[in-house]
Structure formats: structure tokens, C-alpha cells
Structure 1
Amino acid sequence: MIKRLLTLLLIAVAAMASTIYWSFSVPESAALSDIHQSDSEKSIQCIEPNAYEQLDNQGKLNILVWNIYKQNKSNWQVELEKFSDDKQLVLLQEASMTDELKTWLNQSHWFGQQVDAFSALDVTAGVLNLSGSAPSIACAYVEPEPWLRLPKSGIFARYPLSSGKELAVVNIHAVNFTYGTTEYERQLGKLAEGLRQHTGPILVAGDFNSWSEKRMKALEASLKSLNVEKVSFTPDYRTEFVTGLVLDHVFYRGLTLEKAEAPQTDASDHNPMLVEFSLQ
């Protein structure tokens, strides 16, 4: 019964979304915007800033992971400032580069990279990394929704640490409107590929749209070779689908987990994930 309802829901959403597809502009290939203070520079796929400063704060690494719902709620800025206050790394999904967000970024201390997955009325949308220091490399990846054709996005990045190693990070917003898992597995595989050659610590986080058992199995299979652990949250108010499965996750390797919580907020249709690590 649930499977039938899911199928009908996907068909209905795809039919509605296809009618507005032509209102969006989609780049021919994955593109990344590098945002630092008032400067914004576009790259084909990867950027390699001159990264000299360490990401962590004396061996501590606090992160925020949050689907920010294109900043559609009026209190998004207040909540984002609160949740990101003591963080060294912020991984956002569904970030819409509006004038309001640009102003906030220009007034902040963040280094930022956003995937220009698509744009509507010249406003780009995609995953966004914010960090206290620049990455040594950041690359954009996109995977089109098979029915909607609007891409979902991901960023692969590496950040220097005080231990002398680099932290490899994947920030992902996974494809959603699919009947099977082919496109889902392909997107996960692309981002996991860069992690397989990395010998240092790893962080994989975001909105995985893991609303079915098949998707959860595909997710676990794609990460199995990386030997990552899944973060458990207390309290745990992560957003659930009608199936009871949560959509957002954080996986890690080579770090010591100190604390993890997923509090409630009405500033998005997803609740944030706040995680504290220390370096090994």
C-alpha cells in the first residue's frame, strides 16, 4: 500500500513540476561559484584556492548541516546565525543565492562555494559550503532528476587541519523523484569515488532523500568501502518521510565524535544537524 502511494505521489509531483520546468535555467555542465567577502568568481567545475589556514579550532571541529529550504521562511537568517555561531564548517542544501543571502555572506567571515545547479530569475540554487578557512580544492557535481530534469547537486572539498592532514568533505542533496535507484546510486557513486583515494579523515553529510528501504540500502552500499560511521543524534528531530525514515544524515571517519543533536526549528521544512568532533 505504501509503495503504491509513493508511486502516485511521485507521478503527481513530477506532473506539476514539469509544467514549470521551462522557467528555470540549467547550466550545460557542473559549475561552482567561489564566494569570499564581496568577491564572487565562477569556475567550470573545480576551484583550488590558496588554502593555508587550518579548518579546526585547536583540534575541535564543529559543523552544521541543514537543508535551508531556499530561505523561504522569514526567520531563516536569525536561525542560521544561531546555529552557525560556533561552527567551523556549515553544509547547506537548497541554498538560494538571493540578495538577502549575498548580503549576509558579505557581512560574515565565511569562505563559501556554491554549486550553480540551476537558476530561476537569475537566482542560483544548489548546495553551499561555508567554512572559516578556504578549502584546498572544491568541485561541483550535479545529477539531473530523471523526471523533472532539474539537477540535484553535491560538493567534494578538502580542508587543511592542524594535524597536518586534510579533511575530505562531501555535501550532498540527493536526487529525489525516481522510481528506482539507478540515478540515486550514480550520484552517490560519483561523490564517493573521490573519497576512496583519500587516506585522511572523511565527512559525508546532507539531505540524502533516503525515504525508502531500497534507498537506504543503496546509500549504505555506496559508503561501505569508505569504512565510515553513522552519527546518532540526541535529541533526534531529523525530518522524516511518511515511511518513517529520516532524510538527513552525517557519516564520518578518522574523527572522534563528541556530541550530536538535531533540534527543532520552524525556519525550514528540515531540522538542522549540529555535530561536534575532535581530531584524532
Structure 2
Amino acid sequence: MKLKWIMVAGLAVIGMTVGGFQAVFSVQETPQITSIQNSQVQTELKCYQNEQPLPLDEGGSLNVLVWNIYKQNRDNLFTELARFSQDRQLVLLQEASLDDAFLDWLQRSEWGSNQVSAFKVFDVSAGVLNLSRSMPSIACANLETEPWLRLPKSGLYAEYALSNGQTLISVNLHSVNFTLGTDEYKKQLESFRQVLERHSGPLLIAGDFNSWSEARLNVLKQTLAKYQIEEVPFADDKRKRFMTGLPLDHIFYRGMDFVSATVPESDASDHNPLLAEFSLQK
């Protein structure tokens, strides 16, 4: 009899945990992308499309900010985001929660934006988000479910027109984190394989890769090396690091000339921002 009640109590705890989890988190079967431009907000399934894209770069120069913004949990996030992004043409953010404060900031700014809804927390969309001076011709959502937590990590594939007639393909990625091996990790990276193989123009892959082990870092570098993609070097490297000493955030590129990169320190997130400058090839 005692064993019976222990089992009943255990099932009750599991039921309450699952029920509480479902009450807090919700996941769409088909990924959504929310786009904001000139105070207009539109949400679509899978992809955003724009038939009249304008060039993203400024006279052949492309300045990029990559930053995990920690769900805007710090009071000075918006002040710091405005400061670091003021001379950028493209901003790739991870852990961006599209709450009322961020939505208001976006609608009042001069940025266009696209956000992937990986999941919702109390009906607030969370995922990677791109800010750009010109909207992309296409932006598509990509999701990979965490095998343990069952919550997706998100990726955003986007194509931007450039002043030299080429097209920049960018991939903003927040990699899966809690896995025993590297199979799911590699699967998420390989989901962009067709893009990497067929595109001959400028390419940018950046974000929080959760590369906290040597095995993960090797998979990351080996996967991208197959496509002749280079990593941005940071001389004064203040990137967020795991207890293993390995950096979590990276910028990879191809088809552009690397000019410079810095990692300024900021207490507006638990990650420091990554700044990089490229020049287009004529």
C-alpha cells in the first residue's frame, strides 16, 4: 500500500511539473517569423519576403554586431544596444525576447527587424533576431529542438542585397546546448549545408554556438572548414567563455575582406558584444 501511494505521489509531481512547464512555455509546430519595419509588425509562418530590397552596406563597407543579449534581463541593455549598434548595418542578436519594451524600442528605432519565434514564455516570443538598415529579400526561420529540455534553439537565414550587385547570406544561430554527444549539434549546423554549397557570394555565419567542449568546437570548425569559411580573429579576446575556457560566440565569413574586430566589455548582458568590419570585394 505504501509503495502504491509513493507511485501516485510521484506521478502527481510529474504531472504538475509537465503542466507547469506547458503553462509557461509554448512551442509552435511551424516556426514563425515576426518582421518589424516603420512601426509595422507582421507575423508569418516560416519565411518573410521582400521584393524590393535595398543595399545593406555603406559604400562597400559592412559593419556587424553579434550579441547574446540575455533576454534583456539587465536594465541598461537598450542603452548599450543603441551605443554598440549606432555605426552598424547588421546586428545579429541571440536570446532576444520580443516583450512590450523591446517591441516599443524596435518600433521607435530606424531599424528593420526579423525575429524567429523559437518558443514563447508567458506568450512572449523568444529567439534570434536580426536588425538591419535595409530589410532582407528573404528571411527564414530554422529550429532545432533541445533533446533534453524539448525547447527549440533557433536560427535565422537571411539574404541581403549589396551595392556591388552581390547578395549577402547571413545565418544567425543559437546552437543547441544540452546534449550528451554532438549528433544534434552537428545536425543543426548541417541544416544550412545546401546554402553553403551553392552560394558563391559573401557569407556570414555568427551567433552563440555553445561551443563549450573541445568536441563541439572541433565539430563546428570542421563543418565550416569544408566550405572554405574563415573565422574572425579577436586580438584582445574578451568573449564569453565556459568553465573549460572555450569561447561560446563566433563570427565566420566568406567572400568578403576582413578589416577589424573587437570585443568591448559590457555589463548589459552575460555575454560581451562582438564587433566586426568587412569590405566587399569588387
Q: Do they fold alike, i.e. is TM over 0.5?
A: yes
Q: Which has the larger radius of gyration?
A: 2
**Residue in 1 that maps onto 2:12:** none
Compute the displacement of 1:192 (Å): 3.5
Question: Residue 243 of structure 2 corresponds to which residue in structure 1?
Answer: 242
Counterpart check, 1:59 vs 2:77 = no
Q: Report the counterpart of residue 135 of structure 2 in structure 1.
A: 134
**1:70 and 2:44 equivalent?**
no
Q: In the alignment, is the contact (CA less than 8 A) between 1:238 and 1:246 conserved in 2?
A: yes
Q: Where do 5+ consecutive residues of structure 2 fail to align?
A: 1-16
1:38 CA displacement: 1.9
Q: How many residues align?
A: 264
Paired with 2:72 and 2:213, the residues of 1 have a C-alpha distance of 27
- Cα drift, residue 33 of structure 1: 1.1
Instruction: Encode CA deviations 1:4-56: one digit per residue, 9 max, x unaligned.
Output: xxxxxxxxxxxxx9796321010012221111132111221112112331000
SS at match of 1:177: coil
1:41-56 equivalent positions in 2, closer than 5 A: 41-56=42-57
Query: How many Å apart are 1:120 and its aligned residue?
Result: 1.1
Paired position in structure 2 for 1:155: 156
Asked whether the equivalents of residues 50 and 134 of structure 1 are also in contact (C-alpha less than 8 Å), the reply is: no
Contact 2:53 2:160 in 1 (8 A): no
Match of 1:220 in 2: 221
Long gaps (5+) in structure 1? 1-16
Per the TM alignment, residue 114 of structure 1 is displaced from its structure 2 partner at its CA by: 0.4
1:73, 1:267 within 8 Å by CA — same for their partners in 2?
yes
Measured against aligned partners, the alpha-carbon deviations of 1:123-178 in whole angstroms (never above 9, x if no partner) come to 10000011000111111000111000111000111100011000010000000011
Q: Assess if the C-alpha contact under 8 Å between 1:192 and 1:223 holds in 2.
A: no
TM-score, length of structure 1 as denominator length: 0.91
Match of residue 37 from structure 2? 36
| Corresponding letter in the other structure for 2:64 | I
Of stretches 42-51 and 120-129 in structure 1, the one that deviates more from structure 2 is 42-51
Q: CA deviation at 1:111?
A: 1.1
Identify the range of structure 1 (22-31 vs 83-92) with the bigger mean alpha-carbon deviation. Answer: 22-31
**Matched residues in 1 for 2:113 and 2:122: separation?**
22
- The amino acid across from 1:277 in the alignment is F
1:102 shift after superposition: 0.7
Letter in 2 for 1:115: V
Q: Secondary structure at the match of 1:226?
A: coil
